Amino acid sequence: MENYIPEAINIAQRSIMIVLLISAPPLLTALAIGVVISVLQTATQIQEMTLTFIPKIVAVLAVFFFMLPWMLMKLINYTQELFGQMSHAFTAGGG
């Protein structure tokens, strides 16, 4: 049973890295757009809260659709790697 603990930790670490890698482009885009709009709002003294939502939504959707093939390829590769590790662990007797 102890042989599975390092493998489980490795799988959890890889899963977290894949999630961070895939979520980074839309999140960083939203952050950048938010900062730019905040600077513009500060410079023009327009303090409308709804002004930030539409540009963020449009930019995040654009980045999401642009990066979708890359995101899917990362997920597919990770899933295939994970299933390969699981089948190897079960056929090799867990060692």
**Which range has the top average pLDDT, 3-12, 18-27, 78-87?**
18-27
pLDDT reported for residue 1: 52
pLDDT, one tens digit per residue, over 40-82 is 988 888 878 778 889 999 999 999 999 999 999 999 999 999 8
pTM recorded for the entire structure: 0.77
Render the chain in DSSP notation, one character per residue. -TTHHHHHHHHHHHHHHHHHHHHHHHHHHHHHHHHHHHHHHHHHT---GGGGHHHHHHHHHHHHHHHHHHHHHHHHHHHHHHHHHHHHHHHTT--
